[in-house]
Amino acid sequence: MTGEDDEVVRLSPSPYRWLGVLATSLVFVSIGVVVPSEGTGFWIVNVLGVGFFGLGALVALAQLVPGVSGLTIDRDGFVMKSLGRRHATAWGDVVGAFRVVRAVPAQPMIGYDLTPAKAQGRLARTNKAAYGLHAAIPDTYGRRIEELTALLNARLDRWRSRNT
């Protein structure tokens, strides 16, 4: 079978989101550098702030490099790539359906359950206890969360209809 099932979908993080993180981080770094702290005893706050937000700026810059992060959806499953690390999940390892998880209200994610054989890790057990699902896709990659959830569920349903 060819056509839509064989189509590979590659999604990248929204550059606008990461440009916002970069700008915000740089503002806080500059505040930490400019605001005097000598003799006030708050120098450690400045150093920690510059370090923390400087690291945030570096992560944002890395996320803006094409190919460093993204989501690839194909006939066999999906691959999440974040800062160069890859995590592949086969459709056969997914139990149930993908659904929106609002663990942090400001940052909803797409969650899913794994087969018992794949849900053995500590992180999967912790996520299941805390959020009710084993794993989550941490970004919407520039799409509306409902749209990406529907795309993942459609691909999962197609895989199941071919393999049952």
What value does the mean pLDDT take over residues 25-49?
A: 81
What value does the mean pLDDT take over residues 129-133?
A: 85
88 and 58 within one domain = no
139 and 92 within one domain = yes
Indicate the pTM of the whole model: 0.78
Beta carbons of 109 and 138 less than 8 angstroms apart: yes
75 and 28 within one domain = no
What value does the mean pLDDT take over residues 72-78?
A: 94
Q: Number of folded domains in the chain?
A: 2
Q: Is 114 exposed, middle or buried (0-12, 13-18, 19+ CB in 10 A)?
A: buried
Residues spanned by the domain of 95: 4-10+68-162
Q: Specify the pLDDT at position 23.
A: 95
80 and 30 within one domain = no
80 and 101 within one domain = yes
141 and 74 within one domain = yes
51 and 129 within one domain = no
72 and 53 within one domain = no
d(CA 39, CA 53): 23
Residue entry with tokens 């005893």: 41
Helix, strand, coil percentages (3-state) for the chain, rounded to 5, are 45, 20, 30
> Is it the case that residue 1 has pLDDT exceeding 50?
no
